[in-house]
Chains A and B, each alone.
Chain A
Amino acid sequence: MHDHAPSSFLRRYVFSTDHKVIGLQYMFTGLAMALLGGFLAYVMRSQLAHPGTPVAGFGTVSNAEYNAIVTLHGTIMVFWVAMPVLVAGFGNYLIPLLIGTDDMAFPKLNLMSFWTFFLSTVVLILSMFVPGGASGSGWTTYPPLSAKPAFTGVGLGLDLWIVAVALEFVAFLMGGVNFITTAINRRAKGMGLWDLPLFVWEEVIASIIFMLSVGPLVAGALMLLADRNLNTGFFDAAAGGDPLLFQHLFWFFGHPEVYVLLLPALGILAEVLTVCARKAIFGYRLIVWSTIVAGLLSFIVWAHHQFISGIDPRLASPFSLTTILISVPFAITLFCYMATLYQGSIRYTVAMLFAMAMLAEFLLGGVTGIINGSAAADIYVHDSYFVVAHFHYTLFPIVFLAPFAGFYHWYPKFFGRHLNHGLGLLHFYGTIVFFNLCFLPMFALGMMGHQRRIADPNAFGYLAHGQHYQQLATWGAIGLLVLQIPFIVNIFLSLRKGAPAEANPWRGTTLDWAVPSPPPHGNFEAPPVCYRGPYVYGVPGAADDFVPQHMPPGPGAPTARVPDGDAAQLAAAGSPVA
């Protein structure tokens, strides 16, 4: 079924249409950008711990530079790390494998998508080195601050920033069409929607949310560019425009975007948890329906970012209600994941450690979200370090812990070798300890009243007794960065020295484990056929503790289209173990 791999190096590894190559390109571009975003975080944290003191490796941070660093750190981590790694990286690599096909529905579109993304990366980096400096308007880029160069002194840097983000959106729109179409139409024979691994569901729902929410912001970006360059007044009150309009456009996309990132992370988690706990996912359909409901709700929560922004105060309580309600479907999903562990037999691979840590840490991000979501509490915590702490407790697990879990889990599939376990453990424990050291103090700072995006906490008397928290957080950030070194060493060291991996090293059921490691061009020897749901672990009547999706029914492989039946039915339907 598969055509031959292109022979030239360029076509094979650079301008490849192979979903696996493109997936890894996205992932490693994201990793490189994460280092840049991490460096910016280090500069920011150092400035806050010792305001005014030159930062080693950067120098003295001016006020304008501080704003630019805040802006770029946020922009890079959301749009150039989270999106490429979670959505495009894992999505590209895994969706075709998990649904049993040879490539995306539109391989050339996929190629175009990556190189558009790459171009956007170049434009963003360029924006840091133009006269006037990089954008310092925050990742939210609220006008009027962003609408006139006179307000910030930033000229071309901000225009390029907008262009870069817009190009990035275009890349992910192309990718989104591809993901959705592929999952709808290129599933293996016999694979119904309810046989899809959860990762595929989550990626597809995330792509749909992205595609339907980003449009208004694309229009908003055009308006902002026009305001800056054509002297229009879309967001200029003096010309009859309204600055708040941009906030609506931004958050109509911005909040669903959080779920665009969260869902693939939850998808990775579902795959890792089931394989490592040797358990069927608990409540498969419940999770899918919850995710769909959460996806719908995500379109009507955006104004919770604007409670005190000057919108009509009567709007606050309805949006507060929808915001707090969205906790219910995600609570269901998390409870299902926890129930998945019940009666499991958990193998603590490094991937599983990261997956469990993601659950544990994300819980704190989730419950603190309720404080931000309550309109009344938001009066105090809005734009404070409490918010910063909250969204790092959600986004760090989403953007780093879950992909780490996925990366350790699928590295053998990607490269045919195992990662070093010892280095992995070092990476894991270091990351978790320093992550908490970095962000827990920020809750305390927020409660003290520390507002976001200030370059010098010493300017405020009420923060005087919080300086030791600042320093703790800074040590946490530095430690967190340093402890990524074993990870990076591990990636490259294991490429050559890692223990060879077989096709199915973790004894998983999904189709990604049915192909050799690494999978050849075209993936499957023959088109696979799917006979059952994705998570058949420990089913009574089976010969082994797992039954792969592509294993034909027969002795030791129950026929039931699980997870559709309970144990009694299965035991009746399946043949007894020989």
Chain B
Amino acid sequence: MSSSAAATDLHAPERAGDYTSTGLPTGRVAIWWFLASEIAIFGGAVACYLLYRLHHPEWAEQAAHTVNAAGAFNTVVLLTSSLSAVLAHHAAEQGDGKTAARWINWTVLGGLVFLGVKAWEYAHEIGAGLVPAKSLFWSFYFLLTGLHALHVIGGMTALYVVGRGAARGQHLGRVELAAIYWHFVDVVWIFLFPLLYIAS
């Protein structure tokens, strides 16, 4: 899309990541700013939850109704999927799109398993009458995990699209961005799991 006449040092070609003012890849700069705004969203929601929680020690009793085993299993699943995301990134850096795509598929699979378990939990809880309107604890539980699940879906979609490109050897730089985003989704869960499932 750009004429790449590299005449002098100063008049090097523009556009499409050839030249950046800071030397950092543009996508990486963007994803970190994007994550900063995401942190503000989760930060706000989690801060609200913590403020209430500190005023309501009795919530610990309600938190006991969450399925710790499912939460712990999902934590392991997400951590494992983050590992495969790291491996995908590594492969992409070596220029090996095929391998990167394979690792990405594992990560997406991890996301699917996570969502499946989460769906089972929701069904189990709603079946037991533990709906969002049951109490403020359950309101927060569904708010925070629901918001997180939406991000899991978003991250999986991004990974899937990037993985398809990587399999054809295109846009390998994007593997890193999707992986960074997936790590973020993972880290959010690592905060949510103890706060919602096991804290007393």
Partners in one complex: yes
B3 neighbours in A (Cβ, 8 Å): 1
Say yes or no: A215-B42 contact (C-beta < 8 A), given A173-B37, A226-B132, A527-B14: yes
- B119 adjacent to chain A (CB < 8 Å): no
CB pair B13–A216 under 8 Å, yes or no, is no
Whether the Cβ atoms of A216 and B41 lie closer than 8 Å is: yes
Taking a contact as CB atoms closer than 8 A, the residue among B11, B13, B36 that contacts A529 in the complex is B11
- Size of the A side of the interface (Cβ < 8 Å), in residues, is 49
CB distance from B17 to the nearest CB of A (A): 9
A216-B41, A233-B136, A240-B135 known; A181+B29 contact, CB < 8 A: yes
Interface string of A115-149 (1 = CB under 8 A from B): 00000000000000000000000000000000000
Is A150 located at the chain interface by the 8 A CB criterion? no
* Bound form: Cα–Cα A271–B136 in Å: 51
CB distance A211 to B22 under 8 Å?
no
Query: What are the residues of chain A within 8 A of B14 when measuring CB–CB?
Result: 1, 101-102, 527
Q: What distance in Å separates the Cβ of B127 from its nearest Cβ neighbour in chain A?
A: 17
Across the interface, do A214 and B37 meet the contact criterion of CB distance under 8 Å? Answer: yes
**Interface presence of A3 (CB below 8 A):** yes
As a 0/1 sequence over residues 87 to 129 of chain B, the CB contacts with chain A under 8 angstroms (1 = contact) are: 0000000000000000000000000000000000000000000
Query: Contacts A105-B30, A240-B135 hold; do A184 and B43 have CB atoms under 8 A apart?
Result: no
A223 and B143: CB pair below 8 A?
yes
**Size band of the B side of the interface?**
35 or more
Chain A nearest CB: distance from B176 CB in Å?
15
B37 near A249 with CB under 8 A, answer: no
- The digit string for B129-168, where 1 denotes a CB below 8 A from any CB of A, is 0011101100100110001000000000000000000000
B2-61 residues with Cβ-Cβ distance < 8 A to A are: 2-3, 10-15, 19-22, 24, 26, 29-30, 33-34, 36-45, 47-48, 51-52, 56
Shortest distance between the CB of A333 and any CB in chain B (Å): 25
CA distance A222 to B136 in the complex (A): 14
User: Which residues from B are CB-within-8-Å of A245?
Assistant: 48, 51
A212 within 8 A of B: yes
> Cβ of A219 and Cβ of B45 under 8 Å apart?
yes
Q: Looking across the interface, which residue of chain B has its beta carbon closest to that of A524? A: B14
- Is A234 a contact of B37 with CB atoms below 8 Å? no
Q: When the two chains form their complex, are residues A215 and B10 in contact, meaning their CB atoms are under 8 A apart? A: no
Whether A213 and B135, one on each chain, are in contact in the complex, defined by CB atoms closer than 8 angstroms, is no
Closest Cβ of chain A to B36, distance in Å, is 6
With A102-B14, A181-B33, A232-B132 already in contact, the answer to whether A219 and B41 are too (CB < 8 A) is yes
Q: A211-B33, A211-B36 are in contact. Are A234 and B136 (CB under 8 A)?
A: yes
Among A106, A184, A233, point to the contact of B133 (Cβ < 8 A). A233
B199 at the interface (CB under 8 A from A): no
- Given known contacts A239-B136, A240-B56, A105 and B26 CB-to-CB distance under 8 angstroms: yes
A526 within 8 A of B: yes
Q: A102-B14, A226-B132 are in contact. Are A215 and B40 (CB under 8 A)?
A: yes
CB closest residue in chain A, given B133: A231
A217 touches B44 (CB 8 A): yes
Among A173, A185, A212, A242, contact of B29 (Cβ-Cβ < 8 Å): A185
Complex formed: what's the CA distance from A245 to B1 in Å?
51
A176 pairs with B139, CB closer than 8 A = no
Question: How far does the Cβ of A182 sit from chain B's closest Cβ, in whole Å?
Answer: 8
Given contacts A215-B44, A233-B139, A249-B44, contact A189 B2 (CB under 8 A): no
User: Which of B24, B40, B47 has the largest count of A CB atoms less than 10 A from its CB?
Assistant: B40
B22, B30, B131: the one contacting A177 at CB < 8 Å is B30
* Any B CB within 8 A of the CB of A279: no
Contact residue among A190, A219, A239 (Cβ-Cβ distance under 8 Å from B10): A190
In the bound assembly, the distance between CA atoms of A319 and B200 in angstroms comes to: 33
Dominant SS among interface residues on chain B: helix
B2 and A3 within 8 A (CB): yes
A178 to B37, CA, bound (A): 13
Residue of A nearest to B134 (CB): A232
Closest Cβ of chain B to A173, distance in Å, is: 5
Given contacts A190-B10, A212-B37, A215-B42, contact A1 B30 (CB under 8 A): no
Q: Which residues of A contact B56 (CB under 8 A)?
A: 240
A220 interface hit (Cβ, 8 Å) = yes
Closest chain B residue to A191 by CB distance? B21
Q: Are A212 and B40 in contact (CB under 8 A)?
A: yes
Which residues of the partner chain A approach B133 to less than 8 Å between Cβ atoms?
Answer: 230-233
**Is A1 a contact of B2 with CB atoms below 8 Å?**
yes
| Beta-carbon contact of B22 and A220 below 8 Å | no
Q: Are A249 and B48 in contact (CB under 8 A)?
A: yes
| Given contacts A216-B44, A219-B45, A233-B136, A185 and B21 within 8 Å (CB-CB) | yes
Residue of A nearest to B47 (CB): A216
Q: Contacting A1 at CB < 8 Å: which of B15, B20, B22?
A: B15
Chain A residues closer than 8 Å to B36, beta-carbon distance: 211-212
Complex interface: chain B residues within 8 A of A105 (CB): 26, 30
Closest chain B CB from A214 CB (angstroms): 7
Considering the chains assembled together, what is the distance between the CA atoms of A232 and B52 in angstroms?
A: 14
Question: Which chain A residue has the least Cβ–Cβ distance from B43?
Answer: A215
Q: Is the CB of B40 within 8 A of A102?
A: no
Q: Does A54 touch B at the CB level, under 8 Å? A: no
Contacts of A176 in B (CB 8 A): 33, 37
Task: For the complex, give the distance between the alpha carbons of A320 and B78 in Å.
Answer: 45
CB-defined A-B contacts under 8 Å, sample of 27: A3-B1, A106-B30, A173-B37, A178-B30, A181-B29, A185-B24, A186-B20, A186-B26, A191-B21, A211-B37, A215-B37, A215-B39, A215-B42, A215-B43, A218-B41, A219-B45, A230-B131, A233-B133, A233-B139, A234-B48, A242-B52, A252-B44, A526-B11, A527-B13, A527-B14, A529-B10, A529-B11
Known: A220-B44, A232-B133, A233-B139. 9 other contacts (CB 8 A): A1-B2, A1-B13, A177-B30, A212-B36, A215-B44, A222-B45, A223-B48, A230-B132, A241-B52
Top 7 nearest A-B pairs (CB, nearest first) are A216-B44, A215-B40, A215-B41, A219-B45, A231-B133, A232-B139, A211-B37
